[in-house]
């Protein structure tokens, strides 16, 4: 056994400046793609009831000015929002246009009350998609804000099998997820959407729910929403730093999800991210669950095709291929899969391929003789191949453990690698920070796998001949 503590990785912001924390970095240096003269104007469309459009616009206009941080002794954890204005922070501004507002009548949404859950979701989808269709014909729109209807109940949570996370217990009633279905149906439109709950802009609203949602403080809500809007409109809030001597790396996540008809056939999906944080979504071939290890696997040809298509999409986006591919997979590797992945990188003349298996869990835990859990970045090496990394834990920069529950480590196993375990762990730790939906630095999963469930929940609603959007912004 060996215990190592990995330093908190830096992120890169405006003018190449670096900081460990997204919010401090943007406040001090601006976003990674900022220049001395460029100002990003984001033209936002809105779909919702007249009251929701008015309330959301008023709150976003308020967010043009600074918002004080939550009153706390943890000054590094709770950070003031600098205001979404051309003179500070993101150095950007939101532009409103009445032509980009699509109101939905209150009485139409009131009809959802009393319907069966599935019927209510279907009716709500029809209302929202009709307005999104009209908005798609309007020029000069970068991103669309969708005010989620208050009348629609939240989808019940399904528990996953920790030994087989692609398997989930069936719902007591077949209720589809409004968010996933709307994003799937909106794939045919040209702009990404951002679905927003009323509690984001109206903290006085008390949703009817069996469990009271945990509401973030106003500054944190502003940070998270505006970071997502900045990225979805084409911006780069922050990126992974790269030393000129480092190989250009591409990180690929391969995971599995159930098809829309809930058959036993598993389907693979790859998420490709480069060091800038740009994501490309690629849907792979069906996978089969092995009788030997009860895990889904690809055939040799399907593994080769999946990575070949992923690299082709990467080249189409970035006009070049990487020198190194790091593959994160949620199931173990078979000899056929390894041969298929190698064939893909050999055909592309890529120098280095590194294969990591990230299981769902591991029974080993660490405990500290203090009031706080192990430090984020703590790595336990059980042998040459089996490692555990605490991507959540006590954060020295914050001066606390910012979580609510006892953190569990992220297990990773080396299958075929050339880099040291410490270097691969540092990359995993850095990739947990490439999440545009939140600005706290301690995500648990690397971005390659973090969105796997949500992407799968969206792709499962597409038909075999439907072409999914390639940009990660459409799945956030």
Q: Looking at the predicted structure, is the pLDDT value of residue 449 above 60?
A: yes
Lowest mean pLDDT among 24-28, 32-36, 312-316: 32-36
Given this model, what pLDDT does residue 171 score? 45
Looking at the chain, the whole-number percentage of residues with pLDDT higher than 90 is: 64
- In this structure, are residues 144 and 167 in contact, taking their beta carbons and an 8 Å threshold? no
pLDDT at 36: 57
Residue 285 has what pLDDT?
Answer: 76
Pairs from 291-295 (Cβ < 8 Å, separation ≥ 24): 293/331, 293/332, 294/163, 294/164, 295/164, 295/331, 295/332
CB distance 468 to 281 below 8 Å? yes
Confidence of residue 239 (pLDDT cuts 50, 70, 90): very high
CA–CA gap between residue 280 and residue 292 (Å, rounded): 32
The HSE-up count of residue 410 (CA atoms within 13 Å, CB side) is: 29
The CA dihedral of 78, 80, 86, 91, to the nearest 10 degrees, is -20
Would residue 349 be called left, alpha or beta, if left means φ above 0 and alpha means ψ between -120 and 50 degrees? left
The pLDDT of residue 173:
44
Q: Is 16 left (phi over 0), alpha (psi -120 to 50) or beta?
A: left
pLDDT at residue number 278:
72
| pLDDT single digits (tens) 191-228 | 999 999 999 999 888 776 544 556 789 999 999 999 99
Q: What is the pLDDT of residue 264?
A: 45
Contact yes or no for 65/85 (Cβ under 8 A): yes
DSSP at 81: B
How do residues 140-164 score in pLDDT, each as one tens digit? 899 999 999 988 876 655 555 555 6
Give the tens place of pLDDT for each residue, 166-179: 565 444 444 568 99
Q: Is 134 helix (H, G, I), strand (E, B) or coil?
A: helix
- pLDDT tens digits, one per residue of 322-339: 999 999 999 999 999 999
Instruction: Give the C-alpha separation, 360 to 358, whole Å.
Output: 7
The answer to whether 72 touches 167, Cβ cutoff 8 Å, is: no
Average per-residue pLDDT in the chain?
88
SS3 of 187-212: the string is HHCCCCEEEECHHHHCCCCCCCCCCC
The band of 135, judged by pLDDT with boundaries at 50, 70 and 90, is: very high
Q: In whole angstroms, what is the distance from residue 349 CA to residue 159 CA?
A: 42
Q: How many CB atoms lie within 10 A of CB 72?
A: 11
Q: What is the pLDDT of residues 274-294, one digit of tens each?
A: 766 777 777 777 788 887 888
- Residue 341 in this model has a pLDDT that exceeds 70: yes
Residues 8-20: what's their mean pLDDT?
A: 95
């Amino acid at each position: 056994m060996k215990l190592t503590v990995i330093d908190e990785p830096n992120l890169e912001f405006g003018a190449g400046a670096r900081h460990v924390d997204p919010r401090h970095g943007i406040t001090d240096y601006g976003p990674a793609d900022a220049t001395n003269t460029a100002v990003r104007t984001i033209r936002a469309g809105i779909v919702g009831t007249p009251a929701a459009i008015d309330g959301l616009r008023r709150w976003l206009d308020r967010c043009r000015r600074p918002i004080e941080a939550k009153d706390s002794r943890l000054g590094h954890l709770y950070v003031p929002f600098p205001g979404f204005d051309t003179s500070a922070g993101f150095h950007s501004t939101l532009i409103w246009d009445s032509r980009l507002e699509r109101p939905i009548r209150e009485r139409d949404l009131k009809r959802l009350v009393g319907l069966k859950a599935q019927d209510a979701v279907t009716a709500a989808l029809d209302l929202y998609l009709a307005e999104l269709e009209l908005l798609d014909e309007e020029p000069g729109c970068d991103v669309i804000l969708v005010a989620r209807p208050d009348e629609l109940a939240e989808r019940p949570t399904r528990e996953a099998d920790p030994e087989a996370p692609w398997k989930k217990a069936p719902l007591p009633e077949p209720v589809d997820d409004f968010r996933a279905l709307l994003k799937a149906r909106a794939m045919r439109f040209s702009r990404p959407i951002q679905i927003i709950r009323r509690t984001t802009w109206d903290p006085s609203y008390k949703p009817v729910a069996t469990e009271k949602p945990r509401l973030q403080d106003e500054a944190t809500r502003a940070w998270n929403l505006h970071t997502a809007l900045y990225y979805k409109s084409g911006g780069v809030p922050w990126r992974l730093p790269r030393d000129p001597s480092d190989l250009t790396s591409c990180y690929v996540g391969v995971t599995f999800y159930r098809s829309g008809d809930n058959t036993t056939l598993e389907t693979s999906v790859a998420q490709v991210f480069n060091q800038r944080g740009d994501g490309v979504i690629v849907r792979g071939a069906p996978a089969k669950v092995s009788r030997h290890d009860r895990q889904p696997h690809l055939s040799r040809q399907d593994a080769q095709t999946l990575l070949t298509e992923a690299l082709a999409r990467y080249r189409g986006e970035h006009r070049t291929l990487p020198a190194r591919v790091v593959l994160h997979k949620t199931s173990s590797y078979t000899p056929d899969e390894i041969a298929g992945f190698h064939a893909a990188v050999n055909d592309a003349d890529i120098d280095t391929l590194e294969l990591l298996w990230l299981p769902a869990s591991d029974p080993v835990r660490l405990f500290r003789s203090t009031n706080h859990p192990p430090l984020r970045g703590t790595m336990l090496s059980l042998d040459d191949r089996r490692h555990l990394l605490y991507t959540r834990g006590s954060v020295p920069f914050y001066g606390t453990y910012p979580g609510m529950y006892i953190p569990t480590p992220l297990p990773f196993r080396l299958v075929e690698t050339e880099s040291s375990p410490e270097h691969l762990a540092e990359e995993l730790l850095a990739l947990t920070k490439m999440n545009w939906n939140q600005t706290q630095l301690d995500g648990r999963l690397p971005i390659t796998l973090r969105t796997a469930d949500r992407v799968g929940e969206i792709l499962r609603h597409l038909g075999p001949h439907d072409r999914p959007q390639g940009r990660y912004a459409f799945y956030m």
